[in-house]
Amino acid sequence: MISSEFEKAPCALCGGIEFAELFKTRDYLYGVPGEFSISRCKSCSLVSLNPRIPEEHIASLYPDNYEPYSMSFSQEMLSKLVAGQDGRRMLLERHAHKGFALDVGSGDGRFLLCLKQAGWRVAGCELSEKSAAFQRDSLGLDVKAGSLLSSRFDSEIFDAITFWSVFEHLYDPLETLAEAKRVLKPGGVIAMSMPNFDSLERMFFRSKWFCLHPPFHIYHYSPKIMKTIVAEMGMSIEKVYYSTTATSLINSMKAALGRSSIMLSEAYHVDPSETHDAVSDKTISKATKRLVFNSLIVPSLKTLDLLRLGAYTNYVIRKT
Ligand SMILES: [Zn+2]
């Protein structure tokens, strides 16, 4: 990556142009070349990738095997992927009235299918045209190709809008959140998941933290800054769920050890036990791995979540 391909951008939250560099990092997941700077806005403290690759060029850098776009699966695999979304569905249903839901960045359609099977009416929008076409043609879902901003849905039609592992990829998070508010019914909810920049894992691994995911994650959020952003939109955070999985921990350890990591599941699961297979060691049996994971690792990860230091956050935002 040569420096002329980068752009410096003002802070999305306050428009500030002065930043303090926290550290430099690399893409440990897909091996996009170059060194990337993670900086904190001196005015409002929002953390960003800055300088960054311009939005019009970023799409070409997503690899063909980017995990949310894995569309070559059997019916059996599809059923498993859909069932794997139950944690997110249950989280949403704890807060939202079952009605019409929009999934922003619907990927391969697995969450929309999960909701549909549970009796929701669903729609999606997805930047990848190929993926949007797959969801329409192969899965029979109502999915537009494009961003939430370009999709121009009617006002106040959705009971729930979800952004699973999407918000941190956005170049225009505040405009997108404002648009979500416009198309959401009064009393509706927005649910989103994203890495937690104030997590113990991020503080420990610093530049080797797997969830930095440059150059694709543009802004890095914490519950504190999200509270400011949501208040700026005239909405409020109803609940923050913390969630730590083994996936990012193991991938960060690999990065720290200098090993490239191609564990493609971002695994922003509500239940950490879903990712037990992420513990990979051919020398021990699967049963032993599961025993070790369930007795030692899961309780440790759940403790982090109770202390609000978990690696991922799931926010429920209500439009009043
Ligand atoms: Zn700022």
Per-residue pLDDT, averaged over 162-178, amounts to 97
Nearest to 314 by CA among 217, 243, 248: 243
Confidence band (pLDDT; 50, 70, 90) for 271?
very low
**Could you read off the pLDDT of 101-111 as tens digits, one per residue?**
999 999 999 99
Q: Are 160 and 92 in contact (CB under 8 A)?
A: yes
174 has pLDDT over 60: yes
307 has pLDDT over 80: no
Ranges 120-124, 225-229, 244-248: which has the least confidence: 244-248
At 125, is the secondary structure helix, strand, or coil? Answer: strand
Per-residue pLDDT, averaged over 38-45, amounts to 98
Concatenate the DSSP letters of all residues of 150-200 into one string. Answer: HH-PPTT-EEEEEEES-GGG-S-HHHHHHHHHHHEEEEEEEEEEEE-TTSH
* pLDDT above 70 as % of the chain: 84
Question: From ligand 1's centre to the CA of 48, what distance in Å?
Answer: 9
**DSSP H or E segment with residue 312:** strand 312-318
pLDDT at residue number 262:
47
Question: From ligand 1's centre to the CA of 186, what distance in Å?
Answer: 29
Residue 71, both tokens: 């569309």
Q: Please give the distance of CA 207 from its chain centroid, rounded to a whole number.
A: 19
pLDDT at residue number 71:
67
Residue 150, both tokens: 């370009």
**DSSP H or E segment with residue 102:** strand 100-104
Q: Are 135 and 120 in contact (CB under 8 A)?
A: no
Close Cβ partners of 286 (under 8 Å, ≥ 6 residues apart): none
Confidence band (pLDDT; 50, 70, 90) for 276?
very low
Confidence band (pLDDT; 50, 70, 90) for 270?
very low
69 has pLDDT over 70: no
Cis peptide bond upstream of 33, omega within 30: no
Let me know if 186 is exposed, middle or buried by CB neighbors in 10 A (0-12, 13-18, 19+): exposed
DSSP-derived pairing of the beta strands 36-41 and 19-25: antiparallel
CB atoms within 10 A of CB 271: 14
Per-residue pLDDT, averaged over 141-155, amounts to 97
Identify the residue with better confidence: 124 or 64.
Answer: 124
Q: Are 286 and 294 in contact (CB under 8 A)?
A: no
pLDDT at residue number 281:
43
Identify the residue with better confidence: 55 or 275.
Answer: 55
158 has pLDDT over 70: yes
Question: From ligand 1's centre to the CA of 109, what distance in Å?
Answer: 34
Question: From ligand 1's centre to the CA of 149, what distance in Å?
Answer: 22
72 has pLDDT over 60: yes
Helices 110-117 and 86-95, axial angle in degrees (round to 10): 60
pLDDT at residue number 17:
97
Question: From ligand 1's centre to the CA of 212, what distance in Å?
Answer: 19
Q: What is the mean pLDDT of the chain?
A: 86
Distance CA 290, CA 84 (A): 18
293 has pLDDT over 80: no
Confidence band (pLDDT; 50, 70, 90) for 306?
confident
Question: From ligand 1's centre to the CA of 211, what distance in Å?
Answer: 21
Question: From ligand 1's centre to the CA of 304, what distance in Å?
Answer: 28
**Could you read off the pLDDT of 195-241 as tens digits, one per residue?**
999 999 999 999 999 899 999 999 999 999 999 999 999 999 999 99
Question: From ligand 1's centre to the CA of 19, what distance in Å?
Answer: 8
Q: Which residues pair with 192 in a beta bridge?
A: 163, 315
88 has pLDDT over 90: yes
Q: Are 197 and 220 in contact (CB under 8 A)?
A: yes
Question: From ligand 1's centre to the CA of 196, what distance in Å?
Answer: 18
Per-residue pLDDT, averaged over 156-163, amounts to 98
Question: From ligand 1's centre to the CA of 17, what distance in Å?
Answer: 8
pLDDT at residue number 210:
87
78 has pLDDT over 50: yes
Concatenate the DSSP letters of all residues of 208-274 into one string. Answer: G-GGG-TTT--EE--HHHHHHHHHHTT-EEEEEEEE--HHHHHHHHHHHTT-----------SSGGG
Question: From ligand 1's centre to the CA of 223, what distance in Å?
Answer: 16
Q: Please give the distance of CA 214 from its chain centroid, rounded to a whole number.
A: 13
